[in-house]
Every structure is written in structure tokens, then in C-alpha cells.
Amino acid sequence: MWRCLVEIISGGTMKSSANMWQNRINPSKIRPKRQKEVGLSGHMVRVGAIGFRVFEVLRLFGFRSYARYFAIIGACTILASCSSLTGGKELTTYDLSAPDNFSNLRGRTNAQILVAVPTALKSLDSEMIVVRPGGSEITYFGDAQWSDRLPRVVQEKLVQTFENSHRVRSVAKPGDGVVVDYKIVTSIRAFELSDEAGASAHVALSVKIINDRNGRVRASKQFNATSPANLSNSQKGVEAIDRAMDVVLRDILVWVLDTI
């Protein structure tokens, strides 16, 4: 009975004693499996599952009174693990705006441009909102996130800015199947809130205009903007980043129209 009990709980079939002895003589043949890291909730689910297996075995052999206790333990453990998975605080998701008022804008181009996904360091290539307390330290808002990975958010706002201006013939993204004249290649240098020497938002993008026909760089420039910020909560911090981003997007649009 106990042999059967161990087999069912382990979820597999016990090896023969000969194989076990062979493994003891030849330990090199025993290859440990790589286990994925799991959190406390994952271990709790496993404990609950084992409790239910013990319940099935005891019920099979007529130990119904003991089986009832293991069933209760298994159910309570799994419910506790579920609550630990869903009990975390929900993050507030933020998006950025794209300028749509260009009353003093000059210039127009018949070129078709492609806006590539910007590149960024790993600390910026995520959905987290960067906050620098000072120096080289990097932290994040614990209760907020961007609507997508930051490079994709920046790409989308660049596209919307060009489209909202109605001064560019066509704007495309990689994979749209559009024959383009120029590529807009961007690198995110800074996109953060800083609490050093006065709270502020800082956005810095390095932009290149590349001729798609010959691969030559037509022009390149770095754009910077800062805005006073209030870091008391994530909403006010995002509003400051949005103001700085608005300045950068307008400057990029003017520069591109003057260049091509």
C-alpha cells in the first residue's frame, strides 16, 4: 500500500531496485533536471496538489476520515496561493500625448518616411517609469507603468506627430510594406524623472535621417527638453514627462521638414 502511495504522490512509477542500485554505483548517469524558479505561491500550489493526491490514495484504501483532512489542507493551500497571486496592487497605466496643433508650422515634404522602433538601454527598454533619486541610481515608480515598452510608445508618438501635422506625404512603420524615401532612426538617451537639484522631467532623443535608397545618413541631431516636475505621485510625474516630450516631438518635426 505504501509503495502505491509513494507512486501516486510522486506522479510517476517507482524505479526497480536494480536501477536504483545502478544509479548509486554510477552517479555520473544521474543528470539533475533544471528547475524553473518559482515563487512562494508556486510552491503552495504544489503542496495543495500533493494534499489532494494523498486524499485520493487514502480514500482508495478506505481511510476516509484521514482523507477528509488532506482534502481540506489541499483546498486551503491552493486558495491561499491564488490570493497571493492576485492580491498585489494593480499598476496604473499611462500613455503620452502627441501634439496636434501646428498653427505656426512651415514646410512640407512629398517624401515617404519610415519610423523605426527606437533603441534604448535595458533600464529604459521596459514599461517601467524611471526615477533618478540622484547620481547614477535608478529606481522606478512602484504603482505606475507605460502602456507599452517605452521604445514602442516613443515610436507611436513620433508617427502620430508626423501624421497630425499633415505635412508629410506618408508615414509608415517597419512591416507596413510601404516603399519609403527616408528612415527616422531614434535612440532614447534619457526618459526619466529626476529628483536631483530640483525635481524635473528630462527627455533626450538622438535622431538620424537615413536615405533608404543608399543608406547614407542625411542628417543627425540630439533633442533635449526638461520640465519642472512634482514627484509626490506618478500622475504628476507623468504629466511633466509629457510636457517635455511635447517639446521634443515638435522640434523633431520642424527639423525633419527643414531637412528633407
Residues 6+ away with beta carbon under 8 Å from 237: 129, 131, 141, 144, 193, 201, 229, 230, 231
Q: What cell does 186 get?
A: 531614434
Task: Label residue 24 by pLDDT band (50, 70, 90).
Answer: very low
Q: Where do you find CATH 3.40.50.10610 in the chain?
A: 92-259
Question: The domain 92-259 belongs to what CATH superfamily?
Answer: ABC-type transport auxiliary lipoprotein component (3.40.50.10610)
Tens-place pLDDT, residues 25-70? 333 333 333 333 344 444 444 555 565 565 565 566 565 555 555 5
More confident residue, 155 or 9: 155
Distances from the Cα of 188 to the Cαs of 40, 148, 207, 224, 240, in angstroms? 37, 15, 9, 11, 17
Tens-place pLDDT, residues 61-110? 565 555 555 555 555 555 555 444 445 578 999 999 999 888 888 889 99
- Percentage of the chain exceeding pLDDT 70: 66
Is residue 93 within 8 Å of 149, Cβ to Cβ? no
pLDDT of residue 71: 52
pLDDT of residue 65: 57
- Percentage of the chain exceeding pLDDT 90: 55
Tens-place pLDDT, residues 215-224? 999 999 999 9
Q: What cell does 194 get?
A: 529626476
Task: Label residue 147 by pLDDT band (50, 70, 90).
Answer: very high
Judged against a pLDDT cut of 90, whether residue 188 lies above it is answered with yes
